[in-house]
Structure 1
Amino acid sequence: MAGKIVLIDGHSILNRAFYGLPDLTNAEGLHTNAVYGFLNIMFKILEEEKPEYLTVAFDVHAPTFRHNMYAEYKGTRKPMADELRQQVPIIKEVLHAMGIKTIEKAGLEADDLLGTISRRCEQEGMEVSVISGDRDLLQLATEHVKIRIPKTKQGKTEVEDYYAKDVKERYQVTPKEFIDLKALMGDTSDNIPGVPSIGEKTATKIITEYHSIENAYEHVEEVKPPRASKALKEHWDLAVMSKTLATIHVDADFAYSLEEARLGNIYTEEAYAYFQRLQFKNLLNRFDVTAPSNAVEDGFTEIRERKEADRIFAKAGKALAVGVCVFKNTKNVLPLFAGQAGPGGIGICFGRENVFCIYAENDITMDYLVERVKEVSESVQVFSMFDIKAAMSYLEIGGREHSFDALVAAYLLNPLKNDYTYEDVAREQLDLILEDKAEDYVKVCYEAYTAWASIEPLTAKLKEEQMWQLFTEIEMPLVFTLYDMEQNGVKVEAEALRSYGAQLGVKIVELEKEIYDTAGEEFNINSPKQLGVILFEKMGLKGGRKTKTGYSTAADVLEKLAPDYPIITKILEYRQLTKLKSTYADGLAAYINEDGRIHGRFNQTITATGRISSTEPNLQNIPIRMELGRLIRKVFVPEEGYVFVDADYSQIELRVLAHCSEDAQLIQAYKEAQDIHRLTASQVFHTPFEEVTDLQRRNAKAVNFGIVYGISSYGLSEDLSIDIKEAKQYIEQYFKTYPGIKSFLDDTVKHAKEMGYVVTLFGRRRPVPELKSSNFMQRSFGERVAMNAPIQGTAADIMKIAMCAVNNRLKENHMKSRLVLQVHDELLVETYHTEVEEVKQILKEEMEQAASLEVPLVVDMHTGENWYEAK
């Protein structure tokens, strides 16, 4: 029988892909990098080999003869990383969906299966290619069996090929002798102990001379060098065991049908569905298939006539629930927020057989569609869309109290994702897959249908996970509050901004000259490589850290050196100022609209903890540590006749921590309005309250806030520039002072390890998958997340409640004042001059009463003619 077969060592290639690619996760939170890498390697091999047959062999996770033998010697094999382990069944499912033969057998390792199949096929006159990352398989190489070992270099896969002659040329031994070579030198990656004191060079010399370990042992007195002779005598039992471990069986007893391994069309509809689910979008072009047909498309209809649209809206208004989307007036349907094109129409669904794409053309105007959608939103029980806030740029939503944002719901259920598209929700909640090549109107209908059909499963899951109240009472009202804030915008004095930029420019030039003078030459300060050479080679500064690409000039490295070297202080200041100029002085100008205001975006589905983020521009990262950074706030001003009123929660996260931990002393301190940082310093440093120094208070403040973020002894030592031992004592003393906090944090981490998530006071869940990582650093990060997320998330929930309440009060009272900014724990209201006292009262009442805690919520309030003064 002629022909060619490719045999793949499943676990070996999966393992190589896992460690060769960065971590990837799909919409369901599944790790997928190993599967993705495996498939890329397999496709490359198949394109090169063009075989008639293919088989992938896997190890069975049950003890084999070799497992047991090694266990007797030294415990068990290193456990597989959890992130890799979960991908093993996935790759098997994908391969089966592609019609690819897989094989595994209890009591045999994949090597034995591959060795036996390769021998059988060679005897049938076939050409064999064995794909593995394990060089043990080189012993299988012959004139007709080729061993192919993939290697990843600079993100690209290269493959080393070995026939028998290539093994001899590379290792100076035959494939059969390669077993003996491994027996002497060992292989820690494959748990082959080898003989102590015999490395690769010595092992190669011995085997090339004696050809086997048995022959070498017979002439052990003659083996050179003497230490190798001694080692072989003393550890002969290890050599024998190592050879047994290294030997692959080529005559194992198991059933195998070559015909089952025959390759057909691997790009099946079933496989396409898996690739969609795993989000391997750049591999989908390999398929010449359409997505599995979904019967729901039978109910999709295009509408271009006003009479038909009237009939549809009349029916929609009587429905219990509708799903709606807006599409852009472009050739291709794009997400609403992409580009600047106007709306091209709407999609609307109120039942499986009632899904329509209504175009804004002929006698159907967009004004007509806006009015009819508004009527529908007011009459139905549930009005569902994806990203309602973005849609409101085109539509008017009348029934806000019963609106359902499916994007927000999907975010709450899985806050670790990067985005939440209707395609993801269709796949995850409805088991529907949208064909990328589908017609535009079909895509519109799918979005509207998904918005309608996902209401029930999303609602059920939110209720099941006890987040329905969070969704309906906090997140959905927030959608409309954020929309109002975006529409309000905040005024920026363009001329003041230019002046601020010029001021920064002058200071930057001054710093450049001072740095050049100190260094003795000009160079690119922004080039880490050039800067490293100047500082650590030319100037000879001590404390440099060499990396593969040169000296590290990262901020944490330079900050340690700053106290001893004035040039470092100037470089750090230079970096801050150039960042200020590019990001804010120059960057903000691009966002000023014709009305003189910046209408940024506030995002509620970005952070895993639930905090609101700010983009286009990001106003939450304005530097506040340096005065020159704070001055940027001066360019933000109210309209004429208005002032800014700024309200900022005082230590909200520490207050939340006091409530959650139920620590009696911390609660009492807040109830008595004591200086928490001074009190902590008094306890930690054993100093009378009245005698606490400013430095002690600053250090205690670092401990207080550090504890909230799960800070380590090392982290605290870095923050306070003290040794780790002293930092550890600070933390230990802190927990003695507030024992309730220690118990709370320990219990929170324990709960997260058991349940896989942590919860805020308002029911928001934050998954912590890092706690199950095989990587120590990842697990440590997970513990810090588990400690902090309930605190930060609860504080974020409280702020959201307060924002909505303040915004509603301003509107209900028909006031001219408007909420314009939210930054972390701070709200900024552009306040009409006659409404200042009323606005202050509203802010105080709504912010301080947003939640009922064991300690009071306190708000600091200021007014000003610009944001700088108000803060």
Structure 2
Amino acid sequence: MTKEKLLLLDGNSLAYRAFFALPLLTNDQGIHTNAVYGFTTMLQKILGEEQPTRILVAFDAGKTTFRHNTFKEYKGGRQKTPPELSEQFPYLRTLLDAYNMKRYELDMYEADDIIGTLSRQADEQGIETIIISGDKDLTQLASENTTVYITRKGMTDIEQYTPAHIEEKYGLTPLQIIDMKGLMGDSSDNIPGVPGVGEKTAIKLLTQHPTVEEVYAHLDDVKGAKLKEKLIANEQQALMSKELATINRHVPLALSIDDLAWTAPNTEALFELWRELSFKSLIEKSELAVTDTAEKTAISLAIIEHMTDEFADTMAVHVELENEHYHSCEILGMSFTAGETSYYMSFEALQQAEDIKAYLADETKTKYVYDVKAQKAALSRFGIELNGVVADMLLAAYIDEPAQNLEDVAAVAKRYGYNEVQLAEQVYGKGAKRAIPEQDVLAEHVARKALAVWHALPTIEQALREKEQFDLYSTLELPLAFILCDMECAGVVVNEQRLIEMGEELASKLTAIEQKIYALAGTDFNINSPKQLGVILFEKLALPVIKKTKTGYSTAADVLEKLQPEHAIIDYILEFRQLGKLKSTYIDGLLKVVHEGDHKIHTRYQQALTATGRLSSIDPNLQNIPVRLEEGRKIRQAFVPSREGWKLFSADYSQIELRVLADMADEANLIEAFNHDLDIHTKTAMDVFGVAQEEVTSNMRRQAKAVNFGIVYGISDYGLSQNLGITRKEAAEFIERYFESYPGVQGYMQTIVEQAKKDGYVTTLLNRRRYLPDLTSRNFNVRSFAERTAMNTPIQGTAADIIKKAMIDMAAALREKNLQATMLLQVHDELIFEAPPEELAILEELVPAVMEAAVALKVPLKADAASGNTWYDAK
């Protein structure tokens, strides 16, 4: 028999939490959806974890409640509900109806009172109850049978309040939460309490005497004349505040817990609403889960240990990986199919099967795969070659729609009409329950993945042909995957001793800065604690408060930067944070991922991730090593060649995005400047400020540089004013003068947005697309962001395409010249190689020449090259 479990949700509180936890989201019709989306993700998580048998969502019925009879100003001063949230409440109610969940509200009462009454009924019957809210008032309802879940950050970070937790956190019982509120008040509900009594004082008083009434009955025991005065002066207010904070647990409800039975949602209605609200990721996950409960079409499957005569010259191949990282990947098995019979082979059998290894290595036997880079790298670790791959379902799907879910073969296959694959978690389980299944289950799962590749790939490739994107796929992304695989497998050597020394140097600097901060603060404190830092800055040092958060004073970087002129301590705090992050994230972080066997870092490139086409790297992320600080640049000293006497060689595109902008905007003044090899920032300063070259000051050039790069990202006058420390009006005038100097750029910005609104997407030079549905949003902020994205994506994306093309051409040039030099890393617009010293002269000519010839623009591409004993020296 299923154990009874009641789930009670505070609808208004959770809707507010969801709304403010997520950025404004809209569907294709411009309807705001962030509150509904956050509420839904929380519901999905809770339903999966708790599996309740009864559910009710309680709402506040109106602004006036019985508490207003006691105190007219109850909940006074609350800001009006944002219209972007108000418009979502009807959809929230529709959502709950689709979930088949009871919802209830009652005039003159709050959701808290409805929940309090139902939880009392459940408690009396010994039914386990979960209450979910963003309001800590409800923690007074915690009991042996009732746990109160309070949302913290976002919607899925939850703190569970039981009587034991309340005892540990406050030293109080759940019912004493009411007394605590009576004494300290609650600003969110405009409950006054006793002015000057905070949480610590309230808890201290209640530890001595358990209720507000008892505290007043023993006022002589209260220490501190001022505190006693406050208590005496506000006795009636304290008692009233306790009354206001007390949840009514005997509300005359028109339902009881017997009316709240719940089994499952109306899937059809739920999906219809999700489709209307554009919740694509939820639909994909849930539809797949539903599909996986249905019977799959039977497949013809053979478990083999050697090749059979039925192996075709073209087959889909799938290698099932437990982990994609080069040094820790495990191969569980693999499958081959040409659409009829599927063949499965365990990894143990593969290691002994020389005929299969030969088939995999044979260039003339063509293969279709999902994620060739991961599969080829994993096999290479065990000395097995994978050649002849002519199609990659992951890359094809990524080019067709960069924003789709590409995490799983099943998700991608379903998008293209093939529904015969199970989600991985259906086969392996989740979390602690994850386990490799029996061979017959695993064999069928892997075989279905190969079949999905076989059936879905032609559909995706046809879509690419129709959109004229097949060349981008077949001549750029697919060849690049093999190059990236080689780079990941090669890795780059790291001098661990140098990293350790840098860590010690930084630790010493941090200690010195720490002492300076303590001296200026007049006391020791935890510099990494925003709360303690806030007290020091805004109370002890009395600096002006710039911004407040729910938990106190904001000490975010932008706040500290505004405070720099106010006190010398700020510079030290900013430096302390920068150096602390360098040490923990980059020094200590890199040391953790150096492989013991070869002392190398094998970063993994994510080729099918970004909407612009840029590569990103993880495990570790080498693209985020900060280079603006000298201490950050020094981290590159630890990257060294793998062979004695060899050098590292680096080549970096110069101002590639500005050159692409000049080409795309067809801006004559920019084109002329680049064609005459002028310093573009000096030229911009000359044009914008109307001065001769020799009159351009360093500050003028700095401002011109900020505008040049800002324009690429659709910078606003506000953004530029923040970057340059000037007024918004000055920034607006600066941008206006820029567009007067470069009218082609302004024309490009306007044209690209107009065209994108018509097409629904923008394209790069090599025809990569980014779809922008938010261009038609009725929300100004959402639409503005989409417009800026429309302006900068063709530029960023084309720059990404160019360096990818350069990598392919470079790999071919190294092979053609039979050089020993190896391409090791790609970081932003930079390529890093290692090479013997006798090849450096060749590389100095070859690499820039190849990079500069990658594509033809109206302006020349320029690549700067250097070499040295370390990556730092090669800059």
Matches of 1:474 and 1:85, distance apart in 2: 47
1:48 correspondence with 2:33: no
Which residue of the partner structure matches residue 450 of structure 1?
A: 452
Which residue of the partner structure matches residue 389 of structure 1?
A: 374
Which residue of the partner structure matches residue 216 of structure 1?
A: none
User: Which sections of structure 2, spanning at least 5 residues, go unmatched?
Assistant: 1-10, 58-80, 119-129, 142-189, 191-259, 428-440
Task: Report the residue type matching 1:732 in the other structure.
Answer: E
Among candidates 476, 479, 482, match of residue 477 of structure 1: 479
Task: Report the residue type matching 1:370 in the other structure.
Answer: K
1:429 correspondence with 2:416: yes
- Percent identical across equivalent pairs? 37
Among candidates 576, 579, 593, match of residue 577 of structure 1: 579
Q: 1:271 to 1:854 in 2, by over 3 A?
A: same
Task: Report the residue type matching 1:501 in the other structure.
Answer: G
Matches of 2:354 and 2:271, distance apart in 1: 40
Q: 1:794 to 1:808 in 2, by over 3 A?
A: same
Task: Report the residue type matching 1:617 in the other structure.
Answer: P
Aligned 8 A contact 2:284 2:411 in 1: no
Task: Report the residue type matching 2:529 in the other structure.
Answer: S
Among candidates 561, 564, 567, match of residue 562 of structure 1: 564
Among candidates 630, 634, 654, match of residue 631 of structure 1: 634
Matches of 1:157 and 1:556, distance apart in 2: 34
1:731 correspondence with 2:728: no
SS in 1 for 2:733: helix
- Residue by residue over 1:266-311, the C-alpha shift from the partner in whole angstroms, topping out at 9 and shown as x without a partner, is 5799799999985479989998x9622232xx2241414x3xx321
Aligned 8 A contact 2:418 2:456 in 1: no
The equivalences for 1:161-176 within 5 A come to none
Matches of 1:675 and 1:524, distance apart in 2: 46
SS in 2 for 1:553: coil
Which residue of the partner structure matches residue 303 of structure 2?
A: 303
Matches of 2:493 and 2:720, distance apart in 1: 40
SS in 2 for 1:726: helix
Which residue of the partner structure matches residue 195 of structure 2?
A: none
1:416 correspondence with 2:413: no
- State the 1:776 CA deviation: 3.2
Matches of 2:843 and 2:402, distance apart in 1: 34
Matches of 1:532 and 1:859, distance apart in 2: 47
Matches of 2:557 and 2:630, distance apart in 1: 19
- State the 1:743 CA deviation: 0.8
Which residue of the partner structure matches residue 610 of structure 2?
A: 607
1:645 correspondence with 2:661: no
SS in 1 for 2:293: coil
- State the 1:827 CA deviation: 0.9
Which residue of the partner structure matches residue 710 of structure 2?
A: 706
- Residue by residue over 1:735-756, the C-alpha shift from the partner in whole angstroms, topping out at 9 and shown as x without a partner, is 0000010011111222233333
- State the 1:783 CA deviation: 2.0
Which residue of the partner structure matches residue 156 of structure 2?
A: none
1:317 correspondence with 2:320: no
Q: Which of 1 and 2 has greater Rg?
A: 1
- State the 1:416 CA deviation: 2.6
Task: Report the residue type matching 1:767 in the other structure.
Answer: Y
Q: 1:360 to 1:691 in 2, by over 3 A?
A: closer
Matches of 1:783 and 1:133, distance apart in 2: 45
- Residue by residue over 1:206-237, the C-alpha shift from the partner in whole angstroms, topping out at 9 and shown as x without a partner, is xxxxxxxxxxxxxxxxxxxxxxxxxxxxxxxx
- Residue by residue over 1:664-707, the C-alpha shift from the partner in whole angstroms, topping out at 9 and shown as x without a partner, is 11111111111111111111112222211111011100010010
Among candidates 718, 724, 737, match of residue 722 of structure 2: 718
- State the 1:801 CA deviation: 0.4
Q: 1:627 to 1:18 in 2, by over 3 A?
A: closer
1:693 correspondence with 2:686: no
Which residue of the partner structure matches residue 515 of structure 2?
A: 513
1:153 correspondence with 2:138: no
Matches of 1:285 and 1:135, distance apart in 2: 44
- State the 1:847 CA deviation: 0.4
Matches of 2:415 and 2:398, distance apart in 1: 13
Q: 1:813 to 1:754 in 2, by over 3 A?
A: same
The equivalences for 1:766-777 within 5 A come to 766-777=770-781
Matches of 2:838 and 2:738, distance apart in 1: 48
Matches of 2:569 and 2:15, distance apart in 1: 47
Q: 1:662 to 1:284 in 2, by over 3 A?
A: closer
1:842 correspondence with 2:846: yes
1:346 correspondence with 2:339: no
- State the 1:730 CA deviation: 0.2
SS in 1 for 2:399: helix
Aligned 8 A contact 2:13 2:134 in 1: no
- Residue by residue over 1:189-222, the C-alpha shift from the partner in whole angstroms, topping out at 9 and shown as x without a partner, is xxxxxxxxxxxx9xxxxxxxxxxxxxxxxxxxxx
Is 535-544 or 477-486 further displaced after alignment? 535-544
SS in 1 for 2:833: strand
Q: 1:870 to 1:42 in 2, by over 3 A?
A: closer
Q: Compute the TM-score of the two structures, normalised by the length of structure 2.
A: 0.69
- State the 1:315 CA deviation: 2.6
SS in 2 for 1:819: strand
Which residue of the partner structure matches residue 799 of structure 2?
A: 795
Q: 1:401 to 1:658 in 2, by over 3 A?
A: farther
Task: Report the residue type matching 1:323 in the other structure.
Answer: A
Aligned 8 A contact 2:324 2:374 in 1: no
RMSD, matched Cα: 4.5
Matches of 1:538 and 1:160, distance apart in 2: 35
Q: Compute the TM-score of the two structures, normalised by the length of structure 1.
A: 0.70
Aligned 8 A contact 1:646 1:861 in 2: yes
Matches of 1:595 and 1:335, distance apart in 2: 19
Is 607-616 or 659-668 further displaced after alignment? 607-616
Which residue of the partner structure matches residue 346 of structure 2?
A: 359
1:490 correspondence with 2:483: no
Aligned 8 A contact 1:637 1:866 in 2: yes
Matches of 1:618 and 1:687, distance apart in 2: 43
- Residue by residue over 1:103-130, the C-alpha shift from the partner in whole angstroms, topping out at 9 and shown as x without a partner, is xxxxxxxxxxxxxxxxxxxxxxxxxx66
Matches of 1:626 and 1:738, distance apart in 2: 33
User: Which sections of structure 1, spanning at least 5 residues, go unmatched?
Assistant: 1-10, 52-76, 102-128, 162-200, 202-261, 329-333
Q: 1:14 to 1:511 in 2, by over 3 A?
A: closer
- State the 1:134 CA deviation: 10
Aligned 8 A contact 2:53 2:263 in 1: no
Which residue of the partner structure matches residue 365 of structure 2?
A: 379
SS in 2 for 1:378: coil
Matches of 2:740 and 2:386, distance apart in 1: 53
Matches of 1:416 and 1:86, distance apart in 2: 29
SS in 2 for 1:454: helix
Among candidates 657, 660, 663, match of residue 667 of structure 2: 663
Aligned 8 A contact 1:386 1:451 in 2: no
SS in 2 for 1:834: helix
Aligned 8 A contact 1:493 1:637 in 2: yes
Which residue of the partner structure matches residue 122 of structure 1?
A: none
Aligned 8 A contact 1:600 1:615 in 2: yes
Aligned 8 A contact 1:299 1:354 in 2: yes
Q: 1:733 to 1:326 in 2, by over 3 A?
A: same
Among candidates 849, 852, 867, match of residue 871 of structure 2: 867
Matches of 2:138 and 2:387, distance apart in 1: 57
SS in 1 for 2:746: helix
Matches of 1:159 and 1:773, distance apart in 2: 40
Aligned 8 A contact 1:802 1:850 in 2: yes
Aligned 8 A contact 2:303 2:343 in 1: yes
Aligned 8 A contact 1:422 1:447 in 2: yes
Q: 1:837 to 1:154 in 2, by over 3 A?
A: same
Task: Report the residue type matching 1:749 in the other structure.
Answer: V
- State the 1:649 CA deviation: 0.6
